[in-house]
Amino acid sequence: MAEVLLLNGPNLGILGIRQPEIYGTQTLADIEKSVADEIAERGWTLRAVQRESEGELIHAVQDAYDTVGAIVNPGALMIAGWSLRDALASYPQPFVEVHLSNVWARETFRHESVLAPIASGAIVGLGALGYRLAARALMEMAEV
């Protein structure tokens, strides 16, 4: 059974109560369900992982070489998560970077992503919809 990795970084486990005016009111569980529903049409299942620390996210990537693609919201690790970037550079399938908020409309320290240059694409500023669109992109790209 083909699986998609949905990886969320620090502070994304509290979506719903975390600055809802920026990140929306959907919880991470809501988002995980919507992505699972989206990929179900292809018979794919979801492996959802959220961790607060970079090391644990790296382990999740290293354990997911058997998945067909990944959706990654690194949170603030976008700014300097070099070890996570190295882990994703060895991930053998495409991954899409997602940010709920439009990071380029925010503080300048959020304008750079160390992951984006190795991602297949990035979706920012579309809220929870961005995760579903990323799932659709993976379904288009995947060869399975």
By the criterion CB under 6 A, which residues form the site for ligand DQA? 11, 73, 75-76, 78, 99-101, 103, 110
In the bound state with ligand DQA, the residue whose beta carbon lies nearer, of 65 and 124, is 124
How far apart are CB 69 and ligand DQA at their closest, in Å?
19
Is 91 annotated in the active site?
no
Burial class (CB in 10 A: 0-12, 13-18, 19+), 42: middle
Name the active-site residue from 59, 65, 91, 99. 99
Position 42: which residue type? Answer: R
Q: Which is nearer to ligand DQA, 76 or 144 (CB)?
A: 76
Q: Shortest Cβ distance from residue 74 to ligand DQA (Å)?
A: 7
- The sign of the torsion formed by the CA atoms of 61, 63, 69, 72 equals negative
Closest-by-Cβ residue to ligand DQA is 75
Active site residue 23: yes
Q: How far is CA 78 from the centre of its chain?
A: 11
- The one-letter amino acid code at 88 reads L
Indicate the residue among 32 and 65 with the shorter CB distance to ligand DQA: 32
The least CB distance from residue 138 to ligand DQA, in Å, is 18
> Which residues form the catalytic set?
23, 99
